[in-house]
Structures are given as C-alpha cells and as structure tokens.
Structure 1
Amino acid sequence: MSSSELSGSVPPAEFRAALGQFASGITIMSTLQDGVSHAMTANAFSSVSLDPPLVLVCVDKGVRMHAAVLDCGYWAVSVLAGTQREIAERFARSGRDLYSQFEGIGTSAGPKTGCVVVDGALSWLECRTWATYDGGDHTIVVGEVLSLGAGEPGNPSALIYHRSDYRKLNGD
C-alpha cells in the first residue's frame, strides 16, 4: 500500500460509533485552581504502570478543567459505582457553576492533595502530574499515584459507558 492509501481521516460520526462499542468505566476527575474545585466526568482513563504507579486521563483542551489541571499539577480520580449515574451526568455537562457544582453530593478532600473524591465511589486515587502529551483536541495527562482507597465493600456494580449510554456492570 502507498502512504497516500494509509493517510486520511475517518468521519467523526463513524469514529464515535466504532469506539462506542468499547465499554469504559466512568470516573470523576477533580483538581484545585486558586482554591476552587474543578471536576469533570472522564471515561478516557487507564492504568499505565505498576512501578511507578501511573495512570492517565485525557482532558479536552476546550474545557475549563484543562487549564485548571495543568495549572495545579495535582488531581484525583473517583471510579463511580453503578448507583452514581446522576453524578456522572452532572459533571459531563459544561457550564456548571464552580461554587455549587458539588451541592448534594457527598465528597471528601483527598488526604495528600485536598482534591475532591466522591463518597461511595468504588475507588479513588490522588495523583501528581508526571507528564503531559499532545493528543489532538485533548491532552493526555499521566499521573503518579500518591494515595488511593477503595470504597464501601458490598457495592460490586460499576458504572460504565457503552453505546452512548450509561449502564451498570454487575460484579457477577
């Protein structure tokens, strides 16, 4: 094949439809900027390395969270339980008021960074930015895990995103 046959771009709608077949977990990423908590829903989250413990999350360059997480250098990720769909939906919407966005949601400050972790999450991690990489319209933010914890035992269901909808994944 020639390089011209291998180059080009795929239509965004087709790209989205193809990737929608891949089920992904749902997380809330949070950070602090000038003492104000910022947060977003993220499903582009993954482990990277065990030694050192590294994870990554992809952040859209066009959202206010992008500048906040790059400015702070510390962030937290809460892995949502199947019962936390409303939280995922809230933080997926843009334009939320920064000062009231956590109202009605149980949260705690992470013990190392002070970044918000969501109560009842299956697990949470606090991270220090290790590296960032250009990822087209997103920045790939790799973080070194500083502390972590598991949520309440007995809640085995996870919240996932598949075919453009939130779903519960039972631990069976």
Structure 2
Amino acid sequence: MDFEAMDPEPTDEQVERYRLLAGDHAAGVGVVCSRHRGKDHAATVTAFADVSYDPPTMLVCLYDMGRICEAVETSGVWTLSLLNSSQRSVANWLASPGNPVDGLLDSVPFHRTEASGTPVLDGSLAWFELATVSVHTAATHQVFVGKMTAMGRAEGSGNADAPLVHFAKEYRSLR
C-alpha cells in the first residue's frame, strides 16, 4: 500500500497529489445560481450534499474568492440544479474562470423560481431552492448550509436515469 505523510505546510507536489487522489471520488454535477445586484450568477459545482431530510437541508461548498460565493452570501437564497449527461457543455461553460457577468446565462435555457426569481436550469434532473441558514469557512471555501424553500424537476428532465458525474478530472455519464 502506498503511504505519504502530509507536511503541516503541504508542498506544491503534495497538494497536486491530493488533487489527483481526491479526483478518484465520483460526484454528481450541479449548478448553483443566485441573484446579486440585479444580475444572475451561476457556477458548476461538485461539492454539494444532502444534509438532512427533516427538515430538508443541503450544503454547497464555494470558492471564497468567486463571484458566486459573494452572490450567495449576499442574497441568502440560491438554487442547485442537478445536471443530466446531456448538459456537459453547460457544466463546462459555467466552470470556466473569467466568465462574463453580463449575459452569463444567455445561452443556457432556464426559468425562475416563483418565490425569489432565482434561475433554475431547464432539463436538469432535479432542482432545489434554498435559504442560507449558516455559513462556515473551510480553507479556501465557504460552506453554505441551506434550508429547502422549493424543489422540483425542471421541464424536459427526461434524462432522470442519466446523471452527469465528475470522476478523475472529467465529466462522465453512467452509460
């Protein structure tokens, strides 16, 4: 068995090795959206989890220097759309650094939630609207815990059996 102790202050090589090993975890792919200063913000995420069924609660981890982090923190309301395997191009677009704020979702079909008007991606497997109940700092990220305010399946979500997953630094489908 391979063993490598981590230095208290990890070297660049150790960080890279960690990224490689952590990439062997298959994760669902989603998009977090929020509104801030009258503009839509969105980013692809793989670090999210269902926390509790009673009351329905989820969490998402966002890079603390990203625009989406500021938008979610400021608005206190966000959506998570779970992507299907045909939405790989959407995942790539919204994961690209330096995307424009204006027109970010112009090429992405979406509709708005009734309560907050936050974007939900059309064709997603499922979507959730959440109100932030707590925020925790974890290294370079903020962990947002949210209580469910609305949920559903997006129109045209016929690919419920074909989720988009991230594994070994690539998007993949289960088929």
The two structures have a TM-score, normalised by structure 2, of: 0.90
Is the CA contact 1:31–1:38 (under 8 Å) kept in the aligned structure 2? yes
Match of 2:41 in 1: 38
Q: 1-side partners of 2:24 and 2:101: how far apart?
A: 33
For the aligned residues, what is the CA RMSD?
1.6
In the TM superposition, residue 153 of structure 1 has moved relative to its aligned partner by 5.3
In the TM superposition, residue 68 of structure 1 has moved relative to its aligned partner by 1.2
Is the CA contact 2:126–2:152 (under 8 Å) kept in the aligned structure 1? yes
Question: 5 Å matches for 1:1-172?
Answer: 8=8, 10=10, 11-151=14-154, 152=156, 154-155=158-159, 156-170=161-175
- Closer, same or farther: CA 113–162 of 1 in aligned 2, 3 Å: same
In the TM superposition, residue 104 of structure 1 has moved relative to its aligned partner by 2.1
Q: 2-side partners of 1:33 and 1:110: how far apart?
A: 15
List gaps (5 residues or longer) in structure 2: none
SS of alignment partner, residue 141 of structure 1? strand
In the TM superposition, residue 15 of structure 1 has moved relative to its aligned partner by 1.0
Q: 1-side partners of 2:126 and 2:29: how far apart?
A: 11
In the TM superposition, residue 169 of structure 1 has moved relative to its aligned partner by 1.8
Is the CA contact 2:123–2:157 (under 8 Å) kept in the aligned structure 1? no
Percent of residue pairs identical: 29
Is the CA contact 2:130–2:149 (under 8 Å) kept in the aligned structure 1? yes
The two structures have a TM-score, normalised by structure 1, of: 0.91
List gaps (5 residues or longer) in structure 1: none
SS of alignment partner, residue 145 of structure 1? strand
Of 110-119 and 25-34, deviating more is 110-119
Aligned residue pair count:
166
Q: 2-side partners of 1:122 and 1:147: how far apart?
A: 15
